Structure 1
Amino acid sequence: MTLRFPGSHGMLAIALITSTHLTTAFADSPWPQFRGASGDGIVSGQSIPLNFGETENVTWKTELPGKAWSSPVIADGTIWLTTAIENIPSEDERIALLKQKDIEAKKFNQVAIAKSISLKLLAVDFASGKLQHTIDLAEIEAPDPIHSLNSYASPTPVIDGEHIYCHFGTFGTFCVDRTNRQIVWSRTLPLEHGVGPGSSPFIFRDRLVLIQDGMDRQYVTALDKATGETVWETDRPELEAPSGEMKKSYCTPIAITDKQGREQLICMGSQWIVAYNPSDGSEVWKVYHGKGFSVVPRPVYGDGVVYFCTGFGKPMLFAVNVEGSGDVTDSHVLWQVKKGIPAKPSPVLHDGLLYVIEDSGVASCFDAKSGEEVWKQRIGGKYSASPVLVGGHLLIGSHEGKVTLIQPGSEGKVVAENEVDGQIMASPAVVDNALILRTDKALYRIEG
């Protein structure tokens, strides 16, 4: 794999930084990261129309270049999105490339590969939907293959003040100035993802936190967000697995402060969920959750408890008290559910209830205190995007382009079913009573 970064030299490129702190010239972002400002898919004080589609309640629709499952992030009237422009091989070239990468023939139909990719950052005007800027980040020759359901630009970028941070896993991490659209610094952290990148970057104070759970190595690292230099990195707990396939993972961190006043970075991974001290990366506590791997769902937190799904294998839902220290597997697991749990979409926690959409279209609700099932129903379709709760409704988008709105609470009534063209793989955003929805083909602004 050969990487070329515009304006960079070697592994780390740092542009001139004129101040030692972020300015306050930009307003706080209403949707700065994966799953919104709070990182949990909860939208307060806003509403969107119950009914919409290609010809109903669409303010604008903008076709996007490339292929990407990353979610939109929004600040100061601009929607930011990453994408990857693929140089698609012929079928004979694809087979030859896969053989060069030592992919087993029986897996040829499960993976995709490009001859080269161009990684870009797009800026779309929130008001008009016009594509304002395309920022070139990197040109990558002979990239590693990815799963056929993944993209080369699946991690969602994160906005922090005047900068936006774009992460493409092993293909590069970039800090971009939102005003002059220049790369401030770039960094490569090589990793064997197995099926492509997935973990989104996370900002905690002056640090950019990355979960780096590959087939070859599993660790968490914090970079100085101003320079990209490593502040700390911590290896994951030892994993019991016959191969790297069952060690890799794709989760995104969350940050909490527990009742003792301890700050925690909670980083879910294969077999273990671990809370780290954000100052130095030391372990606060950890829980062994079994043989789950390739974890995608982001954990959610409320009232001293973290709730998380365990990924592929046999997905389970866990509730863990965060007040412990060390290995608290035997003491702080409150409950677990073993059926009907998603491997990819993240849960929603609201008013004492947990909502999940299983990958094959079964929606469920559980009591957050006990884990008891409140309701379950099949809504159909296949799912990767994480739901959002907005305007008193749970919004869930499917691979088939169907968007289902469910009334939260003890009954789980479906109140509307809508449809747009294309696949929904990216989790949506909601800003100014407008639903910003990305499909594999276009970006929509939907509002009443």
Structure 2
Amino acid sequence: MSVASANEPATSEPASSWTQFHGPSSYGDAGTGTLPLTWTEDDYAWKTQLNARHVGSPVVAGNQVFLLDTGTDPADKSMKLDLVSIDVSTGEVLWRRSHPFEERHRHSRNTAASSTPVVHEGHVYFAYGDAKHAELLAYDMKGEPVWSRDLGPWSGVHGFGASPVVIGSKLLLFNDQQSKSLEAWQTPGKSSMLAFDPKTGETIWETPVTSTRPSYGVPTTDGKQLICASTGDGVFGLDPENGKMLWSIKVFNKRCCSSPLVVGDLAIGTCGSGGGGNYLSAVRIPKNASDQPTEAFRITTAAPYVPTPAVKDNLMFLISDNGIATCIDWQNDGKKVWSKRLGGNFGASPIIIGNQLLAISLDGTAHVIPASDSPSGAKSFDLGGPVGATPAFTDGRLFLRINDELCCLKTQ
């Protein structure tokens, strides 16, 4: 049984769409499609100029690509955060909706537009956090506002980066904040998992969680419960109906930036820091209320801190922040199948298109590697600009955020 059939997709969108961070079911696997081993600028169907380089990823629904960008108010030159809709076929900007944005301190690799939107049943949702507050907003596909929610002040020295996701009938946002190691001018934040009605924006439930350092992973599901990861509570499960914490196991001692994944009966998460000490933890999900979660295995060599792993069947592909690709067998206690030094530094998460794994370094070096038990035949080439955003793929089109452009490559 493949992992795609073993676990319920995170959204009800068709599998051919790419409506959330890291694609359908969050595995980074497009399911079908082909990817050339190399390409050049001449191969792009179109390139659309954006206002700035950002690490927020594009998502695709129907004939529209959505992403976040920044802009400047022509009247007073103040900074704006923009939700942008782009035509899939032509690259034309269909509409741009701007929101006031007050700059805040953040990590050098973070950007103002670092979150990824999610599309569900004709609405596009996105979140942002600036020096004043965090906000969650909904628009329809024509760019008309539907609702917005002010979530109050947000605290974290590395800056905001949470992305919403729709699981079942609820819109979820992990509002994880910082309570330790703050700057003198910062106030400790209060963390929670929030569930909203996607149609109205009304809060369905809010579950307080332990505040330490902000975690940026997008929640996922095993089909029955929500699976989350954070420094404060480790890997934990929530009842999707009322937000009750069902279980937790504190397996992390560093910040969680990647998103958790569910494969079989395992919940997989990673933690780390810029100074190293990264590791991956695989937690066996309790089968019933009387069971306790246990750590099934841990990987401490070449584990990712920021990039979320990609999964194809029994194979999981890890891209470490310092450029080592590793393939493990998650069904066999995380046994290493192969590893390959790519070089460079990474922030974007790898994705799988057909039988190829695509991993792109921060300097814009693309690596196309067989998504199999051997990396033989891998190719590397320069995309011509820095890349920090995870690509999107659907219907034979690859969408790449390269420097301050969105590029579309038709692969079939």
Fold shared per TM-score above 0.5: yes
Q: Return the offset for 1:414.
A: 4.5
| Alpha-carbon spacing, 1:306–1:394, altered in 2? closer, same or farther (3 Å) | same
In structure 2, C-alpha distance between the alignment counterparts of 1:283 and 1:41, rounded to whole Å? 27
Does residue 303 of structure 1 match 2:290? no
Distance of 1:132 and 1:152 partners within structure 2: 22
TM superposition shift of 1:86: 6.2
State how far apart, in whole Å, the 2-side matches of 1:35 and 1:373 are.
23
Out of 389, 394, 397, the position equivalent to 2:357 is 394
Question: What is aligned with 2:7?
Answer: none
Give the deviation of 1:410 after TM superposition: 2.5
Unmatched 5+ residue regions in structure 2? 1-11, 179-188
Question: 1:229: which partner in 2?
Answer: 202
Q: Report the TM-score, using the length of structure 1 for normalisation.
A: 0.80
Alignment of 1:216-255 (within 5 A): 216-237=189-210, 244=212, 247-255=213-221
* Change beyond 3 A, Cα 1:267–1:117: farther
Tell me the amino acid that sits aligned with residue 125 of structure 1. Answer: D
Q: Is 1:355 matched up with 2:342?
A: no
Q: Structure 1, residues 319-344: CA drift from partner, whole Å, max 9, x if none?
A: 11112567977x52111111110110
Aligned pairs, number: 379
**Per-residue deviation, residues 202-234 of structure 1 (Å, max 9, x unmatched):** 112332111011112221111121222221111
The structure that has the greater radius of gyration is: 1
> Which runs of structure 2 are paired with 1:363-374 in the superposition (5 Å)?
363-368=325-330, 369-374=332-337
Show the counterpart of 2:286. Answer: 323
Tell me, which stretches of 5 or more residues in structure 1 are unaligned?
1-23, 88-114, 258-262
Q: Which TM-score applies when normalising by structure 2? A: 0.87
Q: Which residue of 2 aligns with 1:35?
A: 22
Distance across 1 between alignment mates of 2:303 and 2:15: 34
CA drift of 1:305 comes to 1.4
Equivalences for residues 170-249 of structure 1 within 5 A? 170-179=133-142, 181-189=143-151, 190-215=153-178, 216-237=189-210, 244=212, 247-249=213-215
Tell me the distance in 1 between the aligned counterparts of 2:16 and 2:205: 27
Match of residue 105, structure 2, among 145, 155, 159: 145
Counterpart for residue 424 of structure 1: 387
CA contact (8 A) 2:16 2:30 kept: no
**Aligned 8 A contact 2:235 2:267 in 1:** no
> How far, CA to CA, are the matches of 1:317 and 1:391 in structure 2?
26
Inter-partner Cα distance in structure 2 for 1:35 and 1:177? 22
Contact 1:206 1:226 in 2 (8 A): no
Is 2:217–2:229's contact at 8 Å kept on the other side of the alignment?
Answer: yes
- Structure 1 residue 178: Cα displacement: 0.8
Aligned-residue offset at 1:67: 3.8
Give the CA deviation at 1:308.
1.4
Q: How many angstroms apart in 1 are the aligned matches of 2:111 and 2:54? A: 5
Q: 1:117 deviation in Å?
A: 2.5
Letter in 2 for 1:124: I
Q: In 1, are the aligned partners of 2:16 and 2:394 still within 8 Å (CA)?
A: no
Contact 2:221–2:262 (CA<8 Å) still a contact in 1? Answer: no
5 Å-filtered alignment, 1:49-88, equals 49-55=36-42, 57-85=43-71
Hey, what's the Cα distance between the residues in 2 that align with 1:86 and 1:171? Answer: 20
Offset of 1:442 from its aligned partner?
Answer: 0.6
1:284 is matched with which residue: 243, 246, 250? 246
1:349-393 deviation per Cα after TM superposition (whole angstroms, max 9, x unaligned): 222122101001111111212122221121111100000011201
Contact in 1 for aligned 2:57/2:401 (Cα 8 Å): yes
Mean Cα deviation higher: 62-71 or 157-166? 62-71
- Distance of 1:311 and 1:439 partners within structure 2: 26
- In the TM superposition, residue 34 of structure 1 has moved relative to its aligned partner by 0.4
Q: Is 1:270–2:221 an aligned residue pair? A: no
Q: Is the deviation greater in 313-322 or in 207-216?
A: 313-322
Distance 1:251 1:236, change over 3 A: same
Could you tell me which residue of structure 1 aligns to residue 397 of structure 2?
434
Which of structure 1's runs of 4+ aligned residues deviate more than 6 A?
A: 26-29, 326-329
SS of the equivalent of 1:38 reads helix
Match of 1:379 among 342, 349, 352: 342
Shift of the alpha carbon at 1:286?
1.0
SS in 2 for 1:360: coil
| Contact 1:198/1:250 (8 A) holds in 2 | yes
* Counterpart residue type for residue 155 of structure 2: E
| Letter of the 1:168 counterpart | Y
Distance 1:86 1:66, change over 3 A: farther
Aligned sequence identity (%)? 29
Aligned residues: CA RMSD: 2.2
Question: 1:375 and 1:131, CA in 2 relative to 1: closer, same or farther beyond 3 A?
Answer: same
Aligned pair in 2 of structure 1 residues 447, 212: CA closer, same or farther (>3 Å)? same
